A and B are shown apart, each in its own frame.
Chain A
Amino acid sequence: MRLRRLWRPTPLKRHYDVIIIGGGVHGLATAYYLSRDFGITDVAVLESQYLGFGGSGRNTAIVRANQRTPENVRLYDEGLKLWRVLTDELDFNLMFFNCGSLLLGHSEASVGAFRMAASTHNFMGVHSELLDPRQCAEVIPGLDISDRPAFPIHAGLYHPPGGIVRHDAVVWGLAKGAAAHGVHIHQGCEVRGIDTDRGRVTGVRTSLGDIGCNRLGIMAGGYSSAIAAMLGIELPIHPLTIQAMVTHPLKPFLHHVFSSTAYHVYANQTLKGEIATGAHMDPQVNYTTDATAYYLKHQAEALVDLMPALRGVRFMRIWAGLADMTPDMAPIMEGHLGYDGLFLDAGWGYFGFKSGPVAGKYMAEYMATGERPEILEAFQLKRFLENRYSGETAAVMKYGHWD
C-alpha cells in the first residue's frame, strides 16, 4: 500500500478568495464543497492548532436524525445520508457504524415527547419507533428495566438510521478531499483579528501574518463567538465545557447507542470496543475544557444504574471540549452578518458533528451564491431578536446564571 500525505503542505498566500476560520468538520466540509461543487478553489482553511483540535476531535461521534422539529429533522436527515456518500467520494473509510440509537425516557411525559418525535419522523420518512421498556431491553440486553434504578425506564425512542462515525476520519477525509480540489490547509495559524473596509470583509490578521480575502467564514466551533466579537458582533452563544470518557476496550456487547436525558448520559461501544460515554455540560460558562472529577463519578453512577453489568468496567480516559450553546439548541447559519462577505456557522453545541458535512454543503452554497439556501431559513440569527425559538428543545434552557 502506497502511503501518501492526506493533504499536501502548501505555501501560505497573502490573499485568498475565501478564508475559513476553523479546521473542524464544519470548516473543512465547507471548503470541500466550495471547491468541489462551486469551482471555488482559491480557499484557505486556517486552523490555530491542528485539524480536529476542537469539538470535531473530541466528540462521541453519535449521528442521528431524530430531532424534535421538522426543520431540524430535515437537515439532520440529509446529513445522515451523507456518510456513505462521502465515504465513497473521499475514498476514505469514515466507518459509519449504522447501529441505531435508543433514547430512553424516564417518565410518563417522556412517552408523549417520544410519540411526538416518532410521529414527526415517520411522517417525514425518517424511521423512529416508540418502545416500551420490555422492547428497550430486547434492543439492548443489559438495560435494567426494573424499578431499581433511581430513574426507572418508561419508554424508548428507537431510531435505526442513527449510529456512530469515526470522528477523526471525517476530519481527515474532508481535509484530504478539500486539498485534492486545491484548498490550502494551514495548521498552527491563529486568526487574531478581522479587517473590514466600508462594510466589507477584507482579510484576517493571523499568527502567521495578515491574509486578505473576499469572503470569510467563521466556523470555529466553541470559539466562534469570540471571533465574531472581534468585529463587535455579539452572538447569543454560551460556550460551556462538556466532557466525555471511555472505558477499557471490551468485546462487542453493546450494539446500539443509548442515551438518557434524565441521567444526562449517552453511551455507545466504539469499533475498538471502548464504551464511549458523554456527560452533561458544566453548569457554568467557561472556555477551560478541563475535565472534572465530578463527571467521572456522575457518569459512573448513571451507567451502572442503567446497565448494572458495567459495574466491573473501568474508565480509562476522560477529556473535554467546548459546546457552543444557543438558547434554543439549534445552530446559527448566517450570511452577510453585519458585513458583506462575512459568514457564520456556529452554535452547534454538542450536536454539530453529525451535521458537519450537510451544514458545510449548504454553507458552501450560501458563500458561493450569496443566496441563503431555503433549508437554512430556520437557522437565522434574527430568530433570537424576534423571540422565535426553533423548538429544538422543548424545555426553556438555562446556561450558567439566570438569563
Chain B
Amino acid sequence: MVADAGAKTGGGLADRGSPDPSVGRPDCRRPPSHGRLPEGRLPPGPTCRVDLSQPLEFSFLGRPVTGFAGDTVASALYASGVRIFGRSLKYHRPRGLYSMEGESSNTLMAIDKVPNECAETTELKAGMSVRAQNVRGDPQTDRFAFIDRFDRMMPAGFYYRLFHRPYRLWPLFQNGLRRMAGTGVLDPRRGLEEGIRGEGGIRVEGGIEVEGARMGSDVRAERYLNAEVAIVGGGAAGMSAALAAAERGLRVCLFERRPWLGGHLVWRVRDFEGEPLHRRAEKLAVRLRAAENVKVFTSSPVTGVWGENLVTGFTSGAEGDLFRECHWECRAKTVVVAAGCMERPLVFNHNDRPGVMQVGAVWRLARTYAVLPGGVAIFSVGDDLSLEAAADLADLGVKIRAVADAREAVRQDAALVTALEERGIPVLAGWAASRVMGRKQVKGCELGALKGEASRRFGCDLVVANAGMQPRIGALATVGARLAYCGHTHTYQPVELPGGVFAAGSMTGLRDPRAIEASGRLAGERAVESCGGSAPGPDESLPEPAPGCDIRHGPDIGRGAKAFVDFDEDGTYKNVVESAAQGFDVPELAKRFGGFGLGPGQYRVAGQNLAMIMADLRGDPVETATPTTVRPPLVPPSLATLAGPGHDVHKRTPLHGELAARGAIFRRAGPWLRPRYFSEDTSCRKEIRNVRRNVGILDSSPLGKFRIFGPDALKALQRVYISDMRKAPRGHCKYSAMCNDMGQLVDDGVVIREGENEYYFTTSSGRAGSTVEWFRYHTRYDRWDYNLVNLTDVLGSLNIAGPNARRVLERVTDDEVSNEVLPYLGCRRITVADGVEARCLRLGFVGELSFELHVPSSYCQFVWDLVVEAGADFGIRPFGLEAQYCLRAEKGHVIIGAESEARVTLTDIGMGWLWDCGDTAAKKVGAPALRACEKQPGRMRLVGFRVDEGSGSPRDGAVVVDGAKIVGYVCTTRRSEALGWQYGMAMVREGVAVRGGRTHIRQEETPGRGESCSATVVPTPFYDPGGRRLRA
C-alpha cells in the first residue's frame, strides 16, 4: 500500500517541478531536433502536449515506427500514417480512430502482448510492441474481410436460429463461432513462470529480460482515501467545485482521467473574455494546485461511484511513481460529478469507416498531439462546439468542404456560422451525413437533407461526425441517480440525486464557460452545506443549458449499407429493426438479443441512440425511452490493478519460524497457517508412532481461548453449551459442545471454572473468530452482565502427548503434575522454568497421556525450547495436523466438518450424551431441535467401521452402498499401525448403522475404475476403548 503522505498531489503526479503537465503544458513548442517537421505533424501550437524534439521508437506489427514524448499510442500511429487499427468482431470490417477516448473496441490493441489495451488513451513509451487485433494476416488485407458481404445471412439473433440442426453438427459450428468471437489474444501460460507477480508491491526480479523494463515495474499499489468532497472530473466545473469547497476548509479529492486538468478547454484556443479558453483552464488549474486541502489525481479514471458515496478508480503511474498502476477507493461524504460530455455517435451508412471520427478526436489530434488529421474533411455535427472545431481546424490547414448541422439554423450560434462562412465553408442546417464512400479509408461522403430529398456528394479523406453531445452519466447512474430524458438538451439528465451527490458542468447541458464554472462553484457550495457548513446563495444569472440535437440517424439509413449503432459487436441499425420485429423492442431486451452495448464500449456508444431509435420503432414518444442500465466499471480496470500487491492474510502462530525450520509443511487451516506434515510421508507413520509409543509435541496455538466473567457468565455458558455447565467443578476441564438452532454441532471444547463467576474455555480453532458474536447474539435479549475476552492470539498453546509426556513435563516444572494432583481432565496452573506461568490442561484428544500448556504467546518459543530440550533424551518430535487427525480418529473423536455435516444433529453423531435436557429454563441453543429429532426415524448416523481384511482399502469419501442405492459415505478412514487394521467412521442411513452389520463400500474416482470392499460396523473408540492410556 502506498502511504498517504499528505502530499498535495496524489496518484500519478508526484510534485516534480515545473512545468507541471497537469497544470499548464510541458514546454512542447520546442522544434523537432533536426529542424524539420516530422511527416504527418503540424507545427506545435500553444495547446500542444507532444514534444517533437523527443522521438520514441516503438513497433507496429513488428515494423519500426517513431512517435514522440506525449503521444498516445493511437496519435503516434495515426501520425505515422496508420489508418486501420484493427478489424471488427463479426464482419471483420476495417476500423480506425474514432473518439480518442477509448469508447469502443475499434482501437483496442495488443500492447506488449497484453490484449485489449486502449491505444487511444495509452501513453506511448519507447520500445512498445503494438499489434492489431481480430486480424487474420495483415489489417489492410484481412483474410476474413469477405464476411462483410454475408450480413444478410446474419440478422439480429441469427445464431439462435442456425447451427443446431442436426444437433450433432452443433459442436462443429460452436467451435467455429468461438474462434470467430473475442478480440484480444491471451496466452494462458503467461505469468506462470516465476516473476510476474509482484510481492508486497515490489516485483520479484526473476530475470524476465524478455519483457524489458515495463514488466520490471509491474507494481500495483493500492490506496484508501477519504474526503469530504470527492470530485469526478477535473474540467472547469470540477476545478471550480473543488476550489469552492476547499475555500471553506473541506478536504477535497479530485479525480481526472486525463493526464492533465482542464477538460475540454485545454485544446480550445477561442478567445473568451480576452484570453484563449485554454489559458482560462490553466489559470484555474494553477489556483487549484495552490489551494489547501485539495488532492488532485490525474491519469485517474473513476471506475464507479457506489453506494454510500464510495468512489473507486485507478491511477496510471507516471515517471517517478513507484507503481505502474494504483487502485484507490475514496470514501467521501459528498460527491460532485462533473464528468463532462462525450459526443453522441451519429448513426449513418458506413459510419465505421476508418477516417470517420468524432469532432473531439480530430480536434485533439491537431491541437493536443500536433497531428494533421486529414487533408479534406466533411463535417456532420449537431452542436456549436463542433462548429468552433471546424473553424479552428480550417485555420490549421484542414480543407473543410462543408459542415452539415443536424439542427435547424435557428439553434446554431450565429457567430460561429459566420466564422465558418468567412472561411468559405458552407453550413448546411438540417442536413446530416448519409453515406461514406471508400472501404479501407474514407474517400468521400454524401450529405443529405433530413427533410426532403436533397443530397450532395463530396470527395474527402476525413468525415467528422457526431449527433451532438451526451453527458457522461455513468457516475451518476451507478450511484443511483434517477435520470430522465430532457426535451430541451435531448439528453438524459438527473432528476433525482442521492444524498450528498451533485452534478455540475457541461454534463448538465451548459455550454458557456462562465456558466460551467458557476455550476461547479454551486455544486461545491452545496457540498459544503451537506457537510454542515454554510455557503453563499446562488451566483449571478448566467446562460442556461443550450438546446440540444435530437437526430436519430442520417438520411437514407440502412439502404444497401451498414449503419452502426454499436461498433463492438457490429450492431447495425438494421439489426435494431430486426430485433424489434422479433419482439425485442425495449432496449434492455434488444441489447441482449442483438448485442448492443455488450462489448468494450458498453452503454457509452450505443446507449442513448438505441433508446431513441427503439422508441421511434415502437412509435412511442422519445421521452418514454429508457436506455439500458449503466453498469460499472465506467472505465475497465485491469485485474492486476484491482488485485493489488497480493496480501496473504493468514495468521501465523508464535512458533511459525521454529516449525518452518523443523521442516514443517504448512497448510491453510481456517485463518491460520499450520504444519500439516513434518516429512514427505503424508501418512505420518513416524509422527504417529512417536506419540503412541513415546512423546510428541504439537503447536496447538490456534485453539480458541476465552475468558468469561461477570455475574451472568454462567447463564451465558448455560445458554450456548449443550451440557449443564453448573456442573463444571473448579480445577477440572468440562468437555462440552455448542449446537446451532438445528441441533447441529458447531463447536466443542472444554470449560474450566477458575473462580467465582469466572471461567476459561477453549473452542475449536476454526470457530474462535465467531465465538464472541455467537455468545452475544444468543444472549441479546437477556441484558446479562458478563464480559467475554478472546485470548486466542494472546496465549499460545503446546500439546505434549504420549506415554512419556509426564516425564518430559516434570523436567521443566517444579510443580507436581502427577496423576493424583493432575488427573485426566484436570487443570492447574504451573510454573515452567523459573517464572513462566502456564495453564496446564490434562486432555486426551489424541488418546494418550497428554498435557496442554497455555502460555503467553511471547513465551511460546521459550517454553517450546525448554520442552524440546527436556524431551530430547526421549526422542520427542513435533507432530502436525495430519498425525493429530489420525490419532484422534483412532479414538473416535469427532472433528467438526469431518464427521459432522448439515444433515446430522449432535445426537446423530453419537454425542447426544453431552446434552443435558434437565435445565430447560436455560433455553439452550439447539435443545428444541435435539428433542424434536431424538426419536425421529430414518436419520443419518455416524458409525465406526472396520474394513474387512483383504477386501480392499477405501479412502475418505468412498460411498456406502446398499444394492443400487447410496446409503452413506465414509468420513474418515485410515489404516492404523496401532490397531493393525483399517478403521473408519461413516455417515450412514439408519438401517446401516447396526453394530456388527456388514456394509458395502465403493469408491470410483474415475469412471469405470471403481473399487469395492466390505466393512463391519464396530463401536468406537477403536483404540484403547477403556481409555486407560489417557488416564495413565
Binary contact readout A104-139 vs B (1 if CB under 8 angstroms, 0 otherwise): 001111011111111110111001111000000000
| Bound-complex Cα distance A68 to B971 (A) | 14
CB neighbours (8 Å) of B971 from chain A are 112
Contacting pair A251 B903 (CB below 8 A): no
CB neighbours (8 Å) of A82 from chain B are none
| Bound-complex Cα distance A106 to B676 (A) | 14
A229 at the binding interface (Cβ < 8 Å): no
Instruction: Please pick, from A4, A88, A122, A253, the residue contacting B187 in the complex, using a CB distance under 8 A.
Output: A253
Contacting pair B932 A387 (CB below 8 A): yes
Contacting pair A291 B178 (CB below 8 A): no
CB neighbours (8 Å) of B184 from chain A are 248-251
Contacting pair B178 A248 (CB below 8 A): no
**Highest count of chain B CB atoms <10 Å: which of A1, A96, A106:** A1
Contacting pair B196 A108 (CB below 8 A): no
Minimum CB–CB distance from A348 to chain B (whole Å) comes to 18
CB neighbours (8 Å) of A124 from chain B are 966
Residue of B at shortest CB range from A304? B643
Instruction: Please pick, from A84, A109, A129, the residue contacting B1006 in the complex, using a CB distance under 8 A.
Output: A129
- B922-972: which have CB < 8 Å to A? 929, 932-933, 936, 939-940, 955-959, 961, 965-966, 969-972
Residue of A at shortest CB range from B182? A273
CB neighbours (8 Å) of A14 from chain B are none
CB neighbours (8 Å) of B743 from chain A are 387
Contacting pair B182 A169 (CB below 8 A): no
Binary contact readout B814-844 vs A (1 if CB under 8 angstroms, 0 otherwise): 0000000000000000000000000000000
Contacting pair A150 B177 (CB below 8 A): no
Whether A250 touches B159, Cβ cut-off 8 Å, given contacts A389-B902, A401-B777, is: no
Minimum CB–CB distance from A82 to chain B (whole Å) comes to 13
Residue of A at shortest CB range from B1003? A119
Contacting pair B188 A307 (CB below 8 A): yes
Interface size class of A (residues with CB under 8 A): 35 or more
B185 at the binding interface (Cβ < 8 Å): yes
B183 at the binding interface (Cβ < 8 Å): yes
| Bound-complex Cα distance A97 to B181 (A) | 14
A303 at the binding interface (Cβ < 8 Å): yes
Stretch at the interface among B7-15, B161-169, B380-388, B555-563: B161-169
Residue of B at shortest CB range from A246? B598
Minimum CB–CB distance from A160 to chain B (whole Å) comes to 9
A198 at the binding interface (Cβ < 8 Å): no
Contacting pair A318 B774 (CB below 8 A): no
CB neighbours (8 Å) of A328 from chain B are 902
List 20 contacting pairs A-B, 8 Å CB cutoff, sorted by A.
A1-B158, A119-B969, A119-B1004, A123-B1004, A248-B105, A250-B185, A251-B182, A251-B183, A272-B569, A290-B306, A291-B306, A311-B643, A317-B633, A387-B742, A388-B903, A388-B939, A396-B744, A396-B746, A396-B902, A401-B777
CB neighbours (8 Å) of B186 from chain A are 250-251, 253, 309-310, 312-313
Number of interface residues of B (CB under 8 A): 124
- B178-233: which have CB < 8 Å to A? 178-179, 181-192, 196-197
| Bound-complex Cα distance A128 to B993 (A) | 28
Minimum CB–CB distance from A66 to chain B (whole Å) comes to 13
Contacting pair B116 A309 (CB below 8 A): no
Contacting pair B897 A395 (CB below 8 A): yes
Contacting pair B164 A142 (CB below 8 A): no
B56 at the binding interface (Cβ < 8 Å): no
| Bound-complex Cα distance A253 to B929 (A) | 50
Contacting pair A313 B177 (CB below 8 A): no
Q: A248-B636, A249-B181, A327-B902 are in contact. List 18 more A-B contacts (CB 8 A).
A: A1-B153, A88-B165, A92-B164, A95-B159, A123-B966, A123-B1004, A124-B966, A253-B185, A269-B182, A272-B598, A293-B304, A296-B633, A300-B637, A300-B640, A303-B643, A317-B633, A391-B902, A395-B897
Minimum CB–CB distance from A262 to chain B (whole Å) comes to 8
Instruction: Please pick, from A84, A115, A169, A296, the residue contacting B160 in the complex, using a CB distance under 8 A.
Output: A169
Minimum CB–CB distance from B930 to chain A (whole Å) comes to 9
CB neighbours (8 Å) of A393 from chain B are 902
Whether A271 touches B177, Cβ cut-off 8 Å, given contacts A301-B644, A319-B631, A395-B902, is: yes
Binary contact readout B93-125 vs A (1 if CB under 8 angstroms, 0 otherwise): 000000000000100100001111000000000
B773 at the binding interface (Cβ < 8 Å): yes
B778 at the binding interface (Cβ < 8 Å): yes
A208 at the binding interface (Cβ < 8 Å): no
**Highest count of chain B CB atoms <10 Å: which of A84, A173, A271:** A271
| Bound-complex Cα distance A233 to B892 (A) | 43
B646 at the binding interface (Cβ < 8 Å): yes
Minimum CB–CB distance from A58 to chain B (whole Å) comes to 11
Contacting pair A250 B116 (CB below 8 A): yes
Residue of B at shortest CB range from A188? B586
| Bound-complex Cα distance A315 to B936 (A) | 51
A151 at the binding interface (Cβ < 8 Å): yes
Contacting pair A308 B197 (CB below 8 A): yes
Minimum CB–CB distance from B195 to chain A (whole Å) comes to 10
A50 at the binding interface (Cβ < 8 Å): yes
Contacting pair B182 A315 (CB below 8 A): no
CB neighbours (8 Å) of A327 from chain B are 742, 902
Whether A106 touches B668, Cβ cut-off 8 Å, given contacts A3-B582, A291-B631, A389-B903, is: yes
CB neighbours (8 Å) of B600 from chain A are 248-249, 316
Stretch at the interface among B488-496, B588-596, B868-876: B588-596
| Bound-complex Cα distance A269 to B188 (A) | 12
| Bound-complex Cα distance A311 to B165 (A) | 39
Minimum CB–CB distance from B972 to chain A (whole Å) comes to 8
Instruction: Please pick, from B165, B742, B957, the residue contacting A389 in the complex, using a CB distance under 8 A.
Output: B742
Contacting pair A97 B174 (CB below 8 A): yes
Minimum CB–CB distance from A127 to chain B (whole Å) comes to 5
Whether A314 touches B638, Cβ cut-off 8 Å, given contacts A115-B957, A119-B957, A293-B310, is: yes
Minimum CB–CB distance from A251 to chain B (whole Å) comes to 4
Contacting pair B588 A50 (CB below 8 A): yes
**Highest count of chain B CB atoms <10 Å: which of A120, A250, A310, A312:** A312
Residue of B at shortest CB range from A173? B160
A57 at the binding interface (Cβ < 8 Å): yes
Minimum CB–CB distance from B2 to chain A (whole Å) comes to 16
CB neighbours (8 Å) of B272 from chain A are none
